[in-house]
Amino acid sequence: MSTSRLRSRLRVVRDLCRNVVQRADVHYLVENAIWSIRHDGLMITRSLPQRKGRITVRAEGIKNSVLHFGSVNTWLSPNGAIRPSDDSNRRVVTWFHVVPGDGRLDHLARVAGRVNLWHTSCTITRDILTEHGIPADQVVVVPLGVDLKTFFPPTPEKRAKLRQDLGIPEDHLVIGSFQKDGEGWLAGDKPKLIKGPDIFCDTLEALHREHKLFVLLTGPARGYVQNRLKAIGIPFAHRSCPTPNHVAPYYHALDCYLITSRAEGGPKPMLEAMASGIPVLTTPVGMAKDILHPGEDALVATSEHLVEPLHTLLSEPSLRERVAQNALSTVAQYDWSCIARRYETEIYDRL
């Protein structure tokens, strides 16, 4: 048995025992992997003002509690089967973003009565859920958060040192992309199109002769993007990060952060870049539509029209500075301490 598989099984056994002996007001159920959802659950449960919360990978043994399924994947399977849990619990299910053609939408009318409240991070997903039969008063929109103690602007000295360590030429402009956008967990040579890696590469290809570009990548399964960048001739660096917070220093090397997704629940890197003092250009997906003020604290454009605003952002240092400074004011209200308070008052207090 591999070490990772053994650790996964040990997490299950540990959480089954804790579910019985450790009492909590809120149990936040996550997938049995070190993914972003686990980090979200930790930040929420640790930051609740009045309630005791904990994360778990199993629902068995939990009674008379708020049971928050931190992703629809932890509650509803593609064939419509639901995760068993004790009926003494009040159930909350989070659905961050809906992938086109998701067959689980066809099961909502049948299973919706098993859920007390639905949560999502953006109004785009809220509207899709209500269109498929979930009553509007049962869907709560609370955005994702960011840890402002971890993500913050760098000093000029730290920025220069990091760029030197990464081998970035002084006269190059650095564009960041910190996400998983390939299928699977290995090389990721097949693109995960919902994340828009093809749009990302097409946009940079259109500009690389006008600007000296360098791309900084983190995250697993980046093979498609790396192969495209090699073919285009754009230099890049890729770094692996064992936990979500390990990505924080890499924002400090950037001149801008580019989001080209076709659908999102967040994305979290939007808030992380803003908190790190890095200007963002994004497609109008997920939370971008709800929290950004286009042209002021970020630039927003559809996937077909990203080239011109990216060219403008790269060409005008004063614009990058103004957008970044405005973003710092916007993102201040999305610290996890503020977001956890909203989870408590807007979701858990209603149950």
Mean pLDDT within 280-286: 98
267-288: string of b/e by CB count within 10 Å (b at 16+)?
Answer: bbbbbbbbbbbbbbbbbebbbb
For the beta carbon of residue 50, count every other beta carbon within 10 angstroms. Answer: 10
Rounded CA separation 324/214 (Å): 20
Q: What is the pLDDT of residue 242?
A: 85
Host H or E run for residue 103: none
The two tokens of residue 99 are 């992938």
List the beta bridge partners of residue 69.
29, 93
Mean confidence (pLDDT) of the chain: 93
Domain with CATH 3.40.50.2000 in the chain: 3-145+336-350, 156-334
At 88-139, the pLDDT tens digits run: 999 999 999 998 899 999 999 899 999 999 999 999 999 999 999 999 999 9
At 10-50, the pLDDT tens digits run: 555 565 556 555 689 999 999 877 678 999 999 999 999 99
The two tokens of residue 192 are 């995960």
CATH of 3-145+336-350, one of 3.40.50.2000, 3.30.200.20, 3.40.1360.10, 3.10.20.30: 3.40.50.2000
At 60-77, the pLDDT tens digits run: 999 999 999 999 999 999
In this prediction the pTM is: 0.94
At 219-265, the pLDDT tens digits run: 999 999 999 999 999 999 999 998 888 999 999 999 999 999 999 99
How sure is the predictor about 296, in pLDDT bands with cuts at 50, 70 and 90? very high
Q: What is the 3-state secondary structure (H, E, C) of 201-250?
A: HHHHHHHCCCCCEEEEEECCCCHHHHHHHHHHCCCEEEECCCCHHHHHHH
Q: What is the pLDDT of residue 244?
A: 85
Q: What CATH code is assigned to 156-334? A: 3.40.50.2000
Q: What is the pLDDT of residue 158?
A: 96
3-state secondary structure of 145: coil
